[in-house]
A and B are shown apart, each in its own frame.
Chain A
Amino acid sequence: MEETKLLDELGKTFPDKILETSSFLGDTAVVIVWDALLDIVNFLRKKPYEFNMLLDLTCVDYQGRSPRFEMVYHVFALAARKRLRIKLAVPDDQPVVDSLTPVWKNANWLEREVYDMFGIRFEGHPDLRRLFMYDGFEGHPLRKDYPLRKRQPLIPLRK
């Protein structure tokens, strides 16, 4: 299997950076330590793997677990038609991750979205602002402790 070959190779090249590898429902995933993201991504982008596309980037809030957040990246190798999921844990007290904007341009908006929705900061991002919410919005809506029905109207609601 090519997936296992890729995972073996990753494990050999970054022995202390890969925490876990798995293949579930046909999705290949690796869990890495938080400071190894750029190294691993740059390794994957080069030949022979050529993961040349960032498909998606998001975050999951596991409230009550430590570390609380988990960043999820989906990268795609166009020539080999392979997807890979990269996950890394982000602690609650220091939610900072390396930005992927130097590598992929679409990381810019996707990281702004995660910053907006989860409050995770990206080091090296050129313009880290909220994407969907307005300036002055308090809190991060997709965090589990943000109530579903909380309203923050810009103009006071009529009685």
Chain B
Amino acid sequence: MPTRLQREAKPDSLLVNMGPSHPAMHGAVRIMLELEGERILNSELEVGYLHRGFEKLCENRTFFNLLIYTDRLNYVSPLINNLGYVMTVEKMLGLEVPERAQYIRVLMSELSRISDHLTCLAAMAMECGAFTVFLYKMKAREFIWDVIEATTGARMTTSYIRIGGVRADLDPDYRPAVQKAILETRKVLKDVHGLLDKNKIFLNRTREIGLMTPENALNWGWTGPALRSTGIAYDVRRAFPYLVYDRLKFDIPTGVRGDNYDRYMVRMKEMEQSLAIVEQCLERLQKSSRPIMAGGIEPADAIHAGRSQKPKEKIRLSPNLEGAEKDITKDILAADGRYVVPPKEDTYTTIEGLISHFKFFMTGQGIRPPKGEAYFSVEGGNGELGYYIVSDGSDKPYRLHLRAPCLHLLAALEELIKGRYVADVIPTFGSMNIILGELDR
């Protein structure tokens, strides 16, 4: 079937495909362009090359199991995706999360936000020819991902933020690692400001290009840095404070014109604010309570010893459970035993612990939010990341819908590039930070 563009194109204009496999189309988007010379008369976007049926999959998994799919949405800031989903379920359950876990969540999601902005601007700058900026920013991102990796065990597929809290306490050496990441990121931001802010090539490709007015941005449903670049200071962290954001000091940077340059600038300034939030979290979080190497007897010996009486010694858990020991869990997980995985020490040694473990993981048991529906959103890297969950009282969501900020941004691209040159597509597309994992779901 011919596409809308093919049907409506003038007979003498040139039709060009940009993507789906194109170095500047982050992921797989196809932009069909109708050109007259180098000017774009019309364009049409095609998405769906990465569609994995996220929502359908989630309807067929339990509330606990589907967490791993949320990692794969916005794969540059998976921790924020985890957070959005987990907090929606917590809203339905009415679950209280310990304060320490809330600070850890804020710390982790701000680090993710920085890595998200760094990736976006790195790619945008590289596509405009500034390869140095790309390398600098990727370097800064590595330090941030070192922190994330040390604590969560993975760089991208973290699944770290769990219903009721977080999976494990912070890495014992997280403090110097975070301080190092802050220092390196500050350095890189300073360098990048110097390299790009008054760079004529960069200015020519971003100033007054991809212009968006505030009214139009609202009409398109834009949120996040893209909306703020038009001058509207809407941030979910401030408008609907969640976790401990109401106790932290941070500004909401805004732009004036809503062009590519303002989107770049808002992201740069937002990273500074995120770094400040990370510093405040460091101040309020005490040392990690996680031991460097957990001592104690082997689980098998503990089971053997537990046959006659409860063992008094600590149990050494497998390394991938480090940071989730029983004496730590009260700080990082909710107290309600129905909704969190019971401590492994209990599961190994007591019959009650074993029963509660099975009750948690058995089909039809475990986390079962009451019948009803809830919408909750957090501030993702690109804007308001919302989850709408309908529960029928069973252990699987009846319907889970994701409000992906990228979809609303990308839908406006056709309008932004109309009448511009082919070369303007690249920085405009780059400044939006389109992450296909989130858009196509």
B51 near A133 (CB under 8 angstroms)? yes
Q: Is chain B's interface secondary structure helix, strand, loop, or mixed overall?
A: mixed
With beta carbons under 8 angstroms apart, the residue of A25, A61, A81 that contacts B240 is A81
Q: How many residues of A contact B (CB 8 A)?
A: 38
Give the docked Cα–Cα distance between A81 and B241 (Å): 12
12 contacts between A and B (CB under 8 A): A27-B373, A53-B218, A56-B375, A58-B401, A61-B399, A74-B403, A81-B240, A105-B220, A106-B411, A132-B47, A134-B48, A141-B53
A131 near B47 (CB under 8 angstroms)? yes
With beta carbons under 8 angstroms apart, the residue of B60, B232, B415 that contacts A148 is B60
CB distance from A145 to the nearest CB of B (A): 12
Given A78-B232, A132-B51, A142-B56: A106 in contact with B221 (beta carbons within 8 A): yes
A85 near B56 (CB under 8 angstroms)? no
List the B side residues contacting A25 at CB < 8 Å: 91-92, 372, 374
B219 within 8 A of A: yes
B220 near A106 (CB under 8 angstroms)? yes
B372 near A53 (CB under 8 angstroms)? no
A135 within 8 A of B: yes
CB distance from B252 to the nearest CB of A (A): 14
B388 within 8 A of A: yes
B218 near A109 (CB under 8 angstroms)? no
B136 within 8 A of A: no
CB distance from B400 to the nearest CB of A (A): 10
A60 near B47 (CB under 8 angstroms)? no
Measuring CB to CB, which residues of chain A are less than 8 angstroms from any residue of chain B?
24-27, 52-56, 58, 60-61, 72, 74, 78, 81, 83, 85, 104-106, 108-110, 113, 117, 127, 129-135, 141-142, 146, 148
Measuring CB to CB, which residues of chain B are less than 8 angstroms from any residue of chain A?
1, 4, 47-48, 51, 53, 55-57, 60, 91-92, 216, 218-221, 232, 234, 239-240, 372-375, 377, 384, 386, 388, 390, 398-399, 401, 403, 407-408, 411-412, 415, 440-441
List the A side residues contacting B372 at CB < 8 Å: 24-25
B220 near A131 (CB under 8 angstroms)? no
Given A81-B239, A109-B407, A141-B53: A27 in contact with B375 (beta carbons within 8 A): yes
B220 near A83 (CB under 8 angstroms)? no
Give the docked Cα–Cα distance between A148 and B407 (Å): 24
Most buried by A among B240, B388, B390, B440: B388
Give the docked Cα–Cα distance between A60 and B392 (Å): 12
In the complex, the 10 A-B pairs of residues with the closest C-beta atoms, listed nearest first: A132-B48, A106-B221, A132-B51, A56-B403, A109-B411, A58-B401, A60-B399, A106-B408, A81-B239, A135-B1
A104 near B411 (CB under 8 angstroms)? no
A148 near B56 (CB under 8 angstroms)? yes
Residue of chain A at shortest CB distance from B46: A131
B384 near A55 (CB under 8 angstroms)? yes
Give the docked Cα–Cα distance between A117 and B271 (Å): 37
List the A side residues contacting B411 at CB < 8 Å: 105-106, 108-109
Give the docked Cα–Cα distance between A105 and B220 (Å): 5
Q: A25-B92, A25-B374, A106-B221 are in contact. List 9 more A-B contacts (CB 8 A).
A: A25-B372, A52-B219, A60-B399, A105-B411, A113-B407, A132-B441, A133-B48, A148-B56, A148-B60
CB distance from B365 to the nearest CB of A (A): 22
